[in-house]
């Protein structure tokens, strides 16, 4: 029998080797065709008396990334469409469709033949659930092996038996941590908690897997044998009493109840361990169906999987421009940002020239890369050879002539127009005509900087976020004269360093900083109103933000916020900044010398480690304090999310961001906008534009014009239109404009 996605070969010992190798794909995924074929293969092996057992492996470098989430997105979309007509029928259809994998994996493990998964590389999601249904698991002793059930990160959970098999193999505490965090395990760590039976050298992986069958591997799972005992002990036991109350409390502390899938995991494990395995699978399916019906799942699958994947593949890249294979890149300015850019470039295997006004400064910038890679080696995330290779790719210099031959040069000098002008002129004097020049400015419009260039078509903004090595988003800023070639090169570069690009038209603050400044501004307003600082920070985190706005101000520097305010007044007039907020920041900086984390005192105090930061008690003395019980905590949360989402809608209305995917993904990756919402634009769309504008108007009545919806949003609210319909990212730009 022949298959499209698999080959089946039986050796002289009667062991079938099932090799998963989907044609035309770089990684195997579980889609409907894979499910159909694997079902037939299970029947084939079970029905052939000459076959003693089967080993399943991959013909690619990785095992599999799991289920095709576009398939799940289709199921979610079908439910949303059909539920309008018949909710009960649509729910039953969703329940049935989500059970296909559950039934297939149960069929495999009860087929009467032993199965072994030979895990040669990345094995995640549904692929690891497939491996868990096998009676044996062997993983290669390789850095390529990454084992995870990461579904919770995209709003769902392992719904093909993962919540039932993992806690029957690992102790309950380890199982819960693995399932609710979506953490990635190495082969050794997976073996350490009993999710993998054996670790073998890559060249011996298949032999080791076959040997398990030769050695008499039982074709029965532990939980199907009489007398099976849970490795973590029963739920109703002393161990259970010590585990479950804190587990629930910890999840609440980490998620604030914003992630239904994480709560469902706890429910599935708790309830599933009280009943027989097959009943546990039914419980899991019911919870999975409910989660698939949630707006959080729809939003997170769309933004954090589908849209993120599309942007990473270059969805906004102009057609017809040849892809750039970078041979040499220049970075001018070896300060913290420039040094970080040099590091990520060298890490991608691209030679980089790091230039500053003195060689000593450039050498210091290179030392930053040495520090990062040395720290990674200490933590076991890199090897000594990696360090030597990376550092050999960075050439520190003070001579602009060394930039000759660069395909791209990124300027990361001080935020001073004159300094940037001189840098542009000196660089272009030695660059080849086809090379692209990019500025990493975070405040100065690209169009104005491009006036310093003799070839503005090849001038573009590439805005990194700090710290460069950790932040995954990059804003690509288009000046008025920026050409397709420059945009394509910029996107190619961002993809080469394995970060996510979003394309933004030129404006003050671009996209991300405009939203972030609104977030901080709302916190300043609350402080002035007398809302206790702790309540402000807790409300933001409870709303889903990873860092409170006051802590974020400290990280970026309070005196930087002061400089931005004063510069805005100089550029746009006194009405451009709330004078009460400026007074607050001036008091913090000028009167109290509180500059932020950099001088260990800002909105927080930063004592020497290991002591933790604490809010500065003096904040309570700046304004009369309101009693917490008199403050609407839920309204504080709404204010934070609404003010950011409104700014995102303004950016879309102004044509600064034209693709809602970029607005959503950008808001999550850059400053962590409540991921469970799917991003700042999805927050509006899934609430409904009419409901959102109603909420904004109520806040505007109480807190002022900052909550006024833009004209476009008010128009959309009239028909309850959505941004993903109005600015359909899958249509061309001319249709979008219409």
Please list the rounded mean pLDDT of every run of 10 residues in the chain (738 residues): 94 97 94 96 97 97 91 85 88 89 96 98 96 98 95 94 97 96 95 97 96 97 95 92 93 93 96 97 96 93 93 93 95 95 97 96 96 92 91 97 96 89 95 95 88 95 93 95 96 97 90 94 97 97 96 92 88 89 96 94 94 95 94 97 98 96 96 96 96 97 95 95 94 45
Q: What's residue 454's pLDDT?
A: 94
Decide: helix, strand or coil at residue 55. Answer: strand
* Alpha-carbon torsion angle 193, 197, 199, 204, nearest 10: -170
Q: Is 463 known to be catalytic?
A: yes
Helix axes 238-255, 260-272, angle to 10 degrees: 170
Kindly state the tokens that stand for 616: 């500065």
Does domain 329-508 sit in CATH 3.40.50.720? yes
Domain at 513-726: CATH architecture:
Orthogonal Bundle (1.10)
**Sign of the CA dihedral with 608 first, then 611, 612, and 615 last:** negative
Domain with CATH 3.90.226.10 in the chain: 6-293
Q: Is 592 known to be catalytic?
A: no
The residues near 723 (Cβ < 8 Å, ≥ 6 apart) are: 649, 652, 660, 663, 681, 684, 685, 716
Q: What's residue 231's pLDDT?
A: 94
Question: How far is residue 396's CA from residue 424's CA, in Å, rounded to a whole number?
Answer: 19
Q: What's residue 738's pLDDT?
A: 27
Catalytic pick among 62, 64, 303, 442? 442
Q: What's residue 733's pLDDT?
A: 45
Which residues in 554-579 are b (16+ Cβ under 10 Å) and which e? bebbbbbbbebbeebeeeeeeeebbe
Catalytic pick among 135, 463, 522, 667? 463
Tell me which CATH code domain 6-293 carries. 3.90.226.10
Q: Is 442 known to be catalytic?
A: yes
Q: Please, are residues 151 and 91 in contact by the beta-carbon 8 Å criterion?
A: no
Mean of the per-residue pLDDT values of the chain: 94
The residues near 518 (Cβ < 8 Å, ≥ 6 apart) are: 643, 644, 646, 647, 706
Domain with CATH 1.10.1040.50 in the chain: 513-726
Q: Is 100 known to be catalytic?
A: no
Catalytic pick among 513, 521, 649, 682? 513
Catalytic pick among 37, 296, 428, 475? 475
Alpha-carbon distances of 711 from 213, 561, 575, 667, 696, rounded to whole Å: 68, 29, 21, 22, 13
């Amino acid at each position: 029998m022949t298959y499209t996605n698999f080959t089946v070969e039986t050796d002289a010992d009667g062991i079938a080797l099932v090799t998963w190798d989907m044609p035309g794909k770089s990684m195997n995924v579980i889609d409907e065709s894979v499910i159909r074929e694997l079902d037939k293969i299970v029947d084939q092996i079970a029905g052939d008396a000459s076959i003693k057992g089967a080993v399943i492996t991959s013909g690619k470098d990785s095992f599999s990334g799991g289920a095709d989430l576009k398939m799940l997105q289709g199921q979610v979309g079908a439910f949303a469409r059909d539920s309008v007509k018949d909710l009960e029928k649509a729910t039953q259809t969703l329940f049935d469709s989500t059970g296909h994998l559950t039934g297939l994996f149960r069929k495999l493990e009860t087929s009467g033949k032993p199965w072994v998964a030979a895990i040669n590389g990345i094995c995640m999601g549904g692929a690891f659930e497939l491996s868990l249904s096998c009676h044996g698991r062997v993983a290669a002793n390789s850095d390529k092996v990454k084992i995870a059930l990461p579904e919770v990160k995209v709003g769902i959970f392992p719904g093909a038996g993962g919540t039932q098999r993992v806690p029957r193999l690992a102790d309950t505490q380890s199982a819960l941590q693995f399932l609710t965090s979506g953490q990635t395990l190495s082969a050794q760590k997976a073996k350490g908690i009993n999710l993998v039976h054996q670790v073998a050298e890559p060249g011996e992986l298949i032999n080791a897997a076959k040997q398990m069958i030769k050695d008499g591997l039982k074709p029965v799972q532990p939980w199907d044998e009489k007398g099976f005992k849970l490795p973590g002990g029963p739920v109703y036991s002393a161990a259970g009493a010590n585990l479950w109350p804190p587990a629930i409390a910890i999840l609440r502390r980490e998620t604030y109840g914003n992630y239904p899938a994480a709560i469902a995991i706890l429910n599935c494990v708790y309830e599933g361990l009280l009943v027989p395995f097959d009943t546990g699978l039914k419980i899991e399916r019911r919870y999975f169906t409910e989660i698939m019906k949630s707006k959080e799942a729809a939003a997170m699958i769309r933004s954090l999987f589908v849209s993120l994947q599309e942007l990473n593949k270059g969805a906004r890249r102009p057609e017809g421009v040849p892809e750039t294979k970078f041979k040499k890149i220049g970075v001018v300015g070896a300060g913290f940002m420039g040094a970080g850019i040099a590091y990520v470039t060298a890490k991608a295997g691209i030679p980089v020239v790091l230039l500053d006004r003195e060689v000593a400064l450039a050498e210091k910038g290179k030392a930053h890369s040495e520090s990062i890679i040395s720290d990674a080696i200490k933590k076991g995330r890199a090897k000594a050879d990696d360090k030597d290779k990376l550092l050999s790719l960075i050439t520190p210099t003070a001579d602009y002539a060394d930039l000759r031959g660069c395909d791209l040069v990124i300027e990361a000098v001080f935020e001073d127009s004159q300094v940037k002008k001189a840098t542009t002129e000196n660089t272009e004097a030695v660059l080849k005509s086809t090379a692209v020049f990019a500025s990493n400015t975070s405040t100065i419009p690209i169009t104005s900087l491009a006036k310093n260039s003799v070839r503005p078509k090849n001038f573009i903004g590439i805005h990194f976020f700090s710290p460069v090595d950790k932040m995954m988003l990059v804003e690509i800023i288009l000046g008025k004269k920026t050409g397709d070639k420059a945009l394509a090169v910029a996107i190619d570069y961002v993809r080469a360093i394995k970060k996510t690009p979003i394309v933004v038209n030129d404006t003050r603050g671009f996209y991300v900083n405009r939203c972030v400044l609104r977030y901080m501004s709302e916190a300043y307003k609350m402080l002035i109103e007398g809302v206790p600082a702790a309540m402000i920070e807790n409300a933001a985190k409870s709303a889903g933000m990873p860092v409170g706005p006051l802590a974020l101000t400290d990280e970026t520097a309070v005196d930087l916020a002061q400089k931005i305010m004063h510069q805005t007044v100089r550029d746009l007039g006194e009405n451009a900044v709330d004078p009460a907020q400026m007074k607050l920041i001036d008091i913090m900086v000028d009167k109290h010398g509180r500059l932020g984390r950099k001088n260990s005192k800002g909105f927080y105090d930063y004592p020497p480690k290991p002591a933790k930061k604490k809010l500065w008690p003096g904040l309570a003395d700046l304004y009369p304090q309101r009693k917490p019980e008199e403050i609407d905590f839920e309204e504080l949360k709404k204010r934070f999310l609404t003010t950011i989402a409104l700014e995102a809608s303004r950016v879309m209305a102004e044509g600064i961001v034209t693709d809602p995917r970029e607005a959503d993904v950008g808001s999550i990756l850059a400053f962590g906008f409540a991921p469970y919402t799917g991003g700042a634009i999805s927050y509006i769309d899934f609430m409904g534009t009419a409901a959102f504008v109603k909420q904004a108007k109520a806040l505007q009545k109480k807190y002022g014009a900052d909550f006024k919806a833009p004209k476009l949003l008010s128009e959309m609210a009239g028909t309850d239109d959505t941004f993903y319909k109005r600015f359909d990212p899958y249509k061309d730009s001319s249709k979008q404009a219409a």
